[in-house]
């Protein structure tokens, strides 16, 4: 049974839609409103699966009402009903399930009901699966152990990545146009933005992703539910009360499978890529210290070598490697590393090792 709410400021239109929908035993009308403000207030408790909503109402524009409805009931589908078609683009930007022009014909309404019925079982079939969002290494959105979403275009894929990076905050239309379509004609850029949002929502819907997992508001605010998002998990661990525990650090290392949005040439992602890379390096350094304390020298050397390859100028890495080789009695390794490090910073930076490193090296020699 599909629970539906009808909203139209014209009572005859409301009754007419009710009459047409009562021919479908699958549809249960649980509320009818001529006042959209009252409808918004009660829909949060009713949690209907679909709302048939008039766009052109004097108290509140249907587009704005739909945005408020999705904020309070993100799993609800919106079907716009109106005598005017100039709102079509804006309606699809908000990701309406359908858009029906008045006067409504039984044939046209049957197509809408069919769409509602087709969508309902998708969520149920996917409900016990884990949706994974990977941005560290290969960028993809996929159900666990399934093929990932195939985006309609590269720009659609980039737009989703930008919304994801800025999840939880409202984003202005100007910001999106500036970041993703800076060199395009303004009118063309706006159309591409609207199309991009529409195709993101369409791709998520067709892949079976419920709005309780991923939703995008009319203010381009992307919100995540119970999904396995690697970047979010990495930050959660880094901010936790046990961030420096061995178990947490090891989990952080496992999560970081590659650079942020690796292989994607998104200029706006540069700083986040740098920040996450530094976080990963600090994680490896902390891990190596703990491994040295626990006499797990091979593991410590492995982590420090990884950091050295990524950032050979980090003095603490060379210091820890020299101390490790001192502990293990591997004098030749210490000498080779120090000489290699000294040559590198002289050629690249025109400097010598600091006094602390030099004294440590002398004590090993």
Percentage of residues of the chain with pLDDT beyond 70:
94
Question: Do residues 69 and 55 both lie within one domain?
Answer: yes
Q: Are 87 and 95 in contact (CB under 8 A)?
A: no
Q: Which of 105-119, 153-167, 257-271, 336-350 has the lowest mean pLDDT?
A: 105-119
Arithmetic mean of pLDDT over the chain:
90
Q: Are 117 and 2 in contact (CB under 8 A)?
A: yes
Question: Do residues 50 and 151 both lie within one domain?
Answer: no
| Average pLDDT for 132-157 | 96
| Average pLDDT for 108-119 | 86
| Average pLDDT for 130-151 | 95
pLDDT band at residue 122, thresholds of 50, 70 and 90? Answer: very low
Residue 86 has pLDDT above 70, yes or no: no
The span from the CA of 199 to the CA of 95, in Å, is 9
- Is this prediction's pTM over 0.75? no
Query: What's the pLDDT tens digit per position in 222-278?
Result: 999 989 999 999 999 999 989 999 999 999 999 999 999 999 999 999 999 999 999
Residue 124 has pLDDT above 70, yes or no: no
Where among 176, 201, 224 does a domain terminate? 224
Number of domains in the chain: 2
pLDDT band at residue 123, thresholds of 50, 70 and 90? Answer: very low
Residue 76 has pLDDT above 70, yes or no: yes
Residue 65 lies in a domain: yes
Residue 212 has pLDDT above 90, yes or no: no
Output the pLDDT for position 95.
Answer: 57
Angle ∠(11,17,23) on CA atoms, nearest 5: 140
Burial zone of 182 (CB within 10 Å; 0-12 exposed, 13-18 middle, 19+ buried): exposed
Residue 94 lies in a domain: yes
Nearest to 280 by CA among 303, 296, 301, 263: 303
Cβ atoms within 10 Å, residue 143: 16
Question: Do residues 161 and 61 both lie within one domain?
Answer: no
Q: Are 78 and 53 in contact (CB under 8 A)?
A: yes
Output the pLDDT for position 251.
Answer: 95
Residue 265 lies in a domain: no
Output the pLDDT for position 53.
Answer: 92
pLDDT band at residue 169, thresholds of 50, 70 and 90? Answer: very high
State both tokens at 293: 């304390």
Residue 31 has pLDDT above 90, yes or no: yes
Question: Do residues 148 and 218 both lie within one domain?
Answer: yes
Question: Do residues 11 and 120 both lie within one domain?
Answer: yes
Residue 242 lies in a domain: no
State both tokens at 299: 């593991």
Residue 144 lies in a domain: yes
Residue 354 has pLDDT above 80, yes or no: yes
Question: Do residues 118 and 159 both lie within one domain?
Answer: no
The span from the CA of 256 to the CA of 251, in Å, is 9
Question: Do residues 119 and 17 both lie within one domain?
Answer: yes
Q: Which of 37-51, 82-96, 160-174 has the lowest mean pLDDT?
A: 82-96
| Residue 13, H or E segment | helix 11-21
The span from the CA of 61 to the CA of 54, in Å, is 8
Output the pLDDT for position 72.
Answer: 85
Output the pLDDT for position 44.
Answer: 86
The span from the CA of 236 to the CA of 243, in Å, is 9
Question: Do residues 66 and 91 both lie within one domain?
Answer: yes
| Average pLDDT for 212-225 | 92
Residue ranges of alpha helices (H) inside the chain are 11-21, 36-46, 62-72, 88-93, 106-126, 154-165, 173-180, 186-207, 230-239, 246-255, 270-293, 297-310, 315-328, 331-349, 355-364
Residue that has been written with the tokens 């490697």 in this structure = 321
Residue 179 has pLDDT above 50, yes or no: yes
Residues 301-309: contacts with CB under 8 Å, at least 24 apart: 303/253, 307/281
| Residue 140, H or E segment | strand 140-143
Nearest to 44 by CA among 73, 82, 6, 87: 73
State both tokens at 253: 């290392």
The span from the CA of 246 to the CA of 303, in Å, is 13
pLDDT band at residue 364, thresholds of 50, 70 and 90? Answer: confident
The span from the CA of 225 to the CA of 4, in Å, is 24
Residue 302 lies in a domain: no
Nearest to 204 by CA among 194, 218, 216, 192: 216
- Residue 46: CATH number of its domain: 3.40.50.2300
* Domain membership of residue 110 as a residue range: 2-125
Question: Do residues 96 and 140 both lie within one domain?
Answer: no
Cβ atoms within 10 Å, residue 240: 11
State both tokens at 218: 């009319």
List beta partners, residue 260.
136
Q: Which of 123-137, 182-196, 199-213 has the lowest mean pLDDT?
A: 123-137
| Average pLDDT for 174-195 | 94
Q: Answer with the residue of higher pLDDT: 56 or 325.
A: 325
- Residue 201: CATH number of its domain: 1.10.10.10
Residue 286 lies in a domain: no
Output the pLDDT for position 89.
Answer: 45
| Residue 226, H or E segment | none
Output the pLDDT for position 8.
Answer: 93
Question: Do residues 140 and 107 both lie within one domain?
Answer: no
The tally of CA atoms less than 13 A away on the side-chain side of residue 234 is: 26
Residue 115 lies in a domain: yes
| Average pLDDT for 7-26 | 91
Where among 71, 96, 125 does a domain terminate? 125
Question: Do residues 103 and 217 both lie within one domain?
Answer: no
The span from the CA of 36 to the CA of 182, in Å, is 38
| Average pLDDT for 119-145 | 78
Where among 86, 106, 125 does a domain terminate? 125
Residue that has been written with the tokens 């739909």 in this structure = 66
Question: Do residues 105 and 214 both lie within one domain?
Answer: no
Output the pLDDT for position 106.
Answer: 92
The span from the CA of 4 to the CA of 348, in Å, is 68
């Amino acid at each position: 049974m599909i629970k539906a709410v009808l909203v139209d400021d014209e009572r005859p239109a409301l009754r007419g839609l009710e009459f047409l929908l009562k021919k479908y035993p699958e549809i249960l009308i649980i509320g009818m409103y001529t006042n959209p403000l009252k409808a918004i207030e009660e829909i949060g408790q009713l949690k209907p699966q679909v709302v048939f909503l008039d766009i052109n109402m004097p108290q509140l524009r249907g587009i704005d009402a739909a945005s408020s409805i999705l904020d309070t009931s993100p799993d609800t589908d919106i079907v716009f009903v109106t005598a005017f078609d100039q709102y079509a683009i804006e309606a699809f930007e908000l990701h309406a399930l359908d858009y029906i022009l008045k006067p409504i014909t039984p044939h046209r309404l049957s197509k809408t009901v069919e769409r509602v019925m087709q969508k309902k079982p998708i969520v149920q079939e996917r409900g016990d699966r884990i949706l994974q969002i990977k941005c560290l290494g290969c960028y993809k959105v996929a159900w666990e152990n399934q093929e990932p979403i195939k985006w309609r275009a590269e720009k659609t894929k980039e737009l989703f990545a930008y919304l994801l990076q800025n999840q939880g905050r409202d984003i202005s239309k100007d910001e999106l146009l500036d970041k993703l379509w800076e060199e395009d004609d303004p009118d063309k850029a706006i159309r591409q933005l609207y199309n991009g949002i529409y195709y993101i929502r369409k791709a998520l819907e067709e892949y079976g992703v419920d709005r309780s997992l991923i939703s995008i508001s009319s203010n381009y605010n992307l919100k995540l539910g119970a999904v396995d998002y690697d970047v979010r998990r990495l930050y959660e661990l880094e901010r936790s009360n046990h961030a420096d525990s061995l178990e947490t650090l090891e989990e952080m290392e496992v999560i970081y499978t590659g650079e942020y949005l690796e292989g994607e040439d998104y200029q706006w992602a540069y700083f986040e890529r740098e920040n996450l890379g530094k976080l990963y390096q600090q994680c490896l350094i902390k891990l190596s210290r703990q491994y040295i304390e626990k006499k797990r020298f091979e593991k410590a050397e492995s982590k420090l070598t990884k950091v050295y390859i990524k950032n050979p100028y980090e003095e603490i890495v060379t210091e820890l490697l020299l101390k490790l080789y001192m502990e293990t009695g591997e004098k030749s390794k210490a000498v080779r590393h120090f000489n290699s490090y000294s040559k590198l910073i002289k050629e690249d930076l025109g400097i010598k090792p600091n006094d602390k490193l030099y004294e440590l090296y002398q004590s090993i020699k």
